[in-house]
Structure 1
């Protein structure tokens, strides 16, 4: 049996931290900080099962919603920019997307981190189209929302009979998901963090199913997502996601809807 040298893991963790955050690595001062170096950086972030771009999106979204320090959110934002995994424009879109699925307060935490890092790096402002630049026909937006919901969720929506459902149809799908600055797979990872954090059964199950049924996220990536998510949200929450993802992998493979018995 080949033994693994702790010094090698220490070095790998420090190297991954520096490369992934865009700043010099910090020597740990506590046992908890050692676990960041030796497990999260050295073992989780170096795994090949999830693209680095997706890891940044999951890490930023969970950091903003799960109580990580502002400096840690800044690290993920800086790293994503420094490694050219995400542009400033994509990050701004990501903050809006997180606001929808985790609340405007959490989206604001990420947006402020983006502002801090953009200032630190002396970046010019992001050039983005406004939410809605021109007058609109309410029926056109309604129809667009229905069509986008059908494409994203892989099943048709029902009629929006309440103010909440109107908001989902008109803004969430009729406007936000229609914005193309951030691609659909990237929006999936942010959405998955939001629904997982919500603890709401229907959004969790339907979005996990749709992420794979749409072809945006591969089953092996979804399983790797659970590990990445668990490092920030905790193993109990990740355990629940593991069970739902395994169930939905089977249903998608069999061509079954998310709610099939």
Structure 2
């Protein structure tokens, strides 16, 4: 991280906060608020290793799942929209995607934030296609889910022989991942936050591996993701991700699967 004079660090932090939140930066009045300005904004958000779009996706998803106050979620949503890093339609898709990986309650928190900020900015409603516009053959839905899983996860799924696995095959991959209103790489960043927050071993390891094996996320970006995630979720959670990412970088480099 680049060392700056205290004056330059403060100036960079205030300027970056104003850009990221699309509002006038707040002058800190507590030590914690100073750390937002002098570290989170001045040092983390200004790093070049991860573009702004994925930083916004990670920050938004983590702010929601870590129960940040609504105003902080709104700040990131506003900054993403005003800076044209993520469109309103894409944020609606992001709320649906987050619902799958962090629960519909968290997806709803993001959806409501998007509605508040869209109203604040006077934006017209986003045009997004419905989940399913017309009836279709259940076998086609299942086959689509199987194929999408194989592409996204970079390995074939097992048979959907329980209600939970049917839900994964038929909705998560058969309908949601198939939607083209949000690109696959963006879905990866939201997914990574969701699985990291879950603490579940298999999803963490398999999705981190797939993010890189698919080519959607580069190893250097994944290492930056850990820092961005850590500032919002905390260093202990991020340390776990750091270890798994380092392991999976080597596995992907050698062409090995995520397990074994």
Sort the Cα spacing of 1:3 and 1:152 in 2 relative to 1 into closer, same or farther, 3 A: closer
Are 1:97 and 2:93 counterparts?
no
Measure the CA separation in 1 of the matches of 2:172 and 2:198: 17
Structure-2 residue corresponding to 1:86? 86
Query: What are the ranges of 5 or more consecutive residues in structure 2 without an aligned counterpart?
Result: none
Q: 5 Å matches for 1:70-219? A: 70-219=70-219
SS class of match (1:190): helix
Measure the CA separation in 1 of the matches of 2:3 and 2:95: 43
SS class of match (2:126): coil
Q: Which deviations, in whole Å up to 9, do the C-alpha atoms of 1:105-164 show, x marking residues without a partner?
A: 001111000000000000000100000110111000000000000000000000001000
Sort the Cα spacing of 1:41 and 1:3 in 2 relative to 1 into closer, same or farther, 3 A: closer
Structure-1 residue corresponding to 2:62? 62
Measure the CA separation in 1 of the matches of 2:228 and 2:195: 15
Query: What are the ranges of 5 or more consecutive residues in structure 1 without an aligned counterpart?
Result: none
Using the TM superposition, give the Cα deviation of residue 226 of structure 1 relative to its aligned residue in structure 2, in angstroms. Answer: 0.1
Moved over 6 A (4+): none
Q: Which deviations, in whole Å up to 9, do the C-alpha atoms of 1:30-68 show, x marking residues without a partner?
A: 100000000000000000000100000000000000021
Using the TM superposition, give the Cα deviation of residue 3 of structure 1 relative to its aligned residue in structure 2, in angstroms. Answer: 7.3
Measure the CA separation in 1 of the matches of 2:76 and 2:58: 10
Query: CA-atom RMSD, angstroms?
Result: 0.9
Structure-2 residue corresponding to 1:257? 257
Using the TM superposition, give the Cα deviation of residue 190 of structure 1 relative to its aligned residue in structure 2, in angstroms. Answer: 0.0
User: What is the aligned length?
Assistant: 259
